[in-house]
Chain A
């Protein structure tokens, strides 16, 4: 049977708009989008993680991925910046796949990037892939940033033995590229997702060729002390996954 529409008689109007998810995290209101961006309207801040620009070009010579990822990721970033008023954009680390790639970025991409920063404050949080960024990037480079009491950094403190422990003010991190695989009535669907509990949120990777790590993997589940909330991204929409039984490996 081939369904073209959702269940007959479904009243779509009574439900929320699936293009965006409004959530409250550490007493702050955030809007999540299916492209993986997270918007804080109070401070007009857009947070994006793991762009991994120039990833395709940084692969070994054994693979030859099409090198159109940078232009595509920058276009997506452009759309995200224009969706809502953005005065501050925080890039949460691993913005470039390698330091070399960042430093030898082609002129066209440099221009494209510079245009995006016009009239906005940019904060480049440094990640493990890009611990050092070139000076031509507009904005500031730092190890962490914040929104109110919420700490924003690329990954958790590597010296902290208790991985579940997050700062009391809350923490938003990147690095792990969370993705989920969902069991549907027929078959499965997989895609990136937002995952958070009371004190910690992990953003999905924003870059197009970034891949993902299943949130059922211990590496991710060991970062949460409570059962986390999951918002699943599929094309332009977000779906709130309330029943973890629908998640598979």
Chain B
């Protein structure tokens, strides 16, 4: 097996580094430094240096965890060191680095200090984020550093300076780290627009995208230049052996449902013991806390185990990372917070607990292990339930066949566009035609229609209401010179306060009464706590004491059954590419013998008793349990699409008097229970359900109201709830639901409602995947009527009661509150 680990900075022999074609591009100073580290320089790094010398934009897709960040900065460091040695350093920004995570920018800053200090380079390098103090910000404005490390929001704020064009004019390089993570979301939309502005301000800058492995790199290239053909895609292929094992319990059965993988904790502990350093990935922060607790109970040998997730305090995470790099830890339990970021120490095993939900993600995680030459990346997937076993096999198959997850086609959101247009006016007077042209160079907005742009412009100017007397309230006016200008400085102030696209979750700091901060916790979860309630956080069990100055105060406690905090956005739906492979595995009985015994038997029973789902039809089962009739459909289109399907089907069933009572949706299937039996389920799945019925449901749905709140905030209609700021007694907040209702009643074609519909069609409701499913299987419904529950339906019904209740059930719960208490009173 050829195991050349291209593009990875690793220890290697001197002869090899002497042979590499580096001398012309790498100054002696740098060569010496590399040599002193015992590092070789790799072709891709040289290729990047040469492209940037020519001013070409590049997309760099190095293998994960391979020192790609240093690689991205290498050309800038070389050029800046040359300038310094020739005494022609100018007080201009040379390199702008944009990171999706504030913490990552800080990490990168720290890591850059090493080469700069060790080579004695006269290069200034600073961070600028929401945490940067006012004095430093002001100084950065007048005396910029050579290299500035920042976030998309900070870039957008800087671009609104009237002097932005001058400030960025001499910029040579713009580095966008982890660019694959911002595509297909609002944060990315804003970044794409900022990049369009940057291209105008900094005409000579080369744009460098650093990305993890993706299926279609050319899709990323268009983010770096309006002419993607000019972007050099540097994608060193690694011919590295990836060894994926799927965990197979010896004694224990594999659970039907659940996500804790508790059944395997003993064996996971054994795996950790048998390896030097293990990285254990889970999908959610809650799972991380739970697994950490269980491992701790198993820990007879006093192994050093760490915990790492996005809600922990930065200093705590830093400590874990440091201990890991020093080789002090035996294992770390982590979430996607470790998907991104800096290089890791010698990890010889990656354990993925639960399904990774996508092949790309799995590869990225596996890439964390075995960085040394000739050492294969070793990973073990531990499925938490039987469906996840199949999903694990599907993921392994996709990885081995190089079938990575595609980034979906996506059009930019209109609320972000509104925010951006106001920002442009804050920067200075603008011409609408020129702005429209510029916006169209941002990939998410490349097919933006002029009419839609005009409506958004009208919205930010006047509100865009069909009300005559509203003309007087203008935020932006068009002058006789044809340029649009702000009407008042207050608009600018308000825009700066509300910038950004993250509005959904409010978090509170959590700490001991005397002691350091532990991290952040969602306000939503805190509201469910009563004094004395215990929960796990940062690997400890703590009890809720009080909320003081917008901070959650806790104390250590010993409790048997602590709660686990809820975190939104932890669970990603199964990707489309994965669901196809899962279907394929289910239908290919020749693969089944390689599955673990319990799963094989489970599928055999399903095959004999009902049918196995396949790639050509949609399997629908009906059966009765107790008083209730069940309808189960195996769509494999991910939780979000299934939720929507559940909502639509239950409405349809209500109309046909089947008396539906409830439903449960997972990544794989949905189950609906009703009082009457659906004898002919096929017509229920007719794609015409996506017409009026979808419209009707969407209009009433609380989900749409939630989307509207986000749209109204991002577009600047209502102010952001800024976490950590205490509400004053006089402050009243207008409920965005009311605005939504009124707007819908009086101006249903308003652009913000359109923006809301577009948003919910992709995010929470995932209507595109649902419609793909229904259209693909129109007239291809396989209905099996069973006397009792099928094998595949068992996991689904076990989920009933575990999934949280949808907000549409608020009335029901309010009535419970009302009636429960009445009953209590009656009992007394």
Contact = CB atoms under 8 A, between A and B. Distances in A.
Interface residues of A, number: 60
B818 interface: yes
A183 B819 CA distance: 15
A187 B662 contact: no
Contact of A68 (B654, B734, B743, B807): B743
A229 to B, nearest CB: 13
Interface string A209-249: 11111000111000000000000101101011111011011
Interface centre among B467, B547, B799, B811 (most CB of A within 10 A): B811
B475 A71 contact: no
Interface in B708-750: 717-719, 729-735, 738-739, 741-743, 745-747, 750
A110 to B, nearest CB: 13
Interface stretch (B383-391, B488-496, B762-770): B488-496
B467 A67 contact: yes
B547 A1 contact: no
Contact of A62 (B470, B488, B805, B815): B488
A3 interface: yes
Contact of B816 (A7, A60, A188, A210): A7
B474 A1 contact: no
Contact of A235 (B465, B718, B811): B811
Interface in B494-529: 494, 524, 527-528
Interface of A is mostly: loop
Contacts of A232: 814
A241 B818 CA distance: 7
Interface string A1-12: 111111110100
A8 B807 CA distance: 19
A2 B812 CA distance: 10
Most buried by B among A1, A3, A4, A249: A4
B804 to A, nearest CB: 5
B471 to A, nearest CB: 11
Given A184-B814, A185-B816, A219-B729, A243 B821 contact: yes
A182 interface: yes
Nearest to B463: A64
B729 A5 contact: no
Contact of A211 (B654, B733, B815, B822): B733
Q: Which of B462, B488, B494, B812 has the most CB of A within 10 A?
A: B812
B470 A57 contact: yes
A210 B818 contact: no
A105 B169 CA distance: 52
Given A2-B808, A64-B463, A72 B742 contact: yes
Interface of B: 459, 462-463, 465, 467, 469-470, 473-475, 487-488, 490-491, 493-494, 524, 527-528, 530, 547, 646-647, 650, 654, 660-665, 717-719, 729-735, 738-739, 741-743, 745-747, 750, 799-819, 821-822
Given A2-B646, A63-B717, A65-B734, 16 more contacts: A1-B800, A2-B650, A3-B661, A4-B654, A4-B812, A64-B465, A64-B470, A183-B528, A185-B816, A187-B804, A187-B810, A208-B741, A208-B742, A209-B739, A211-B733, A235-B811
19 contacts: A1-B662, A1-B801, A2-B647, A3-B813, A4-B809, A15-B822, A61-B475, A62-B494, A66-B467, A67-B470, A68-B746, A177-B732, A182-B814, A187-B805, A209-B742, A213-B729, A213-B731, A234-B810, A239-B815
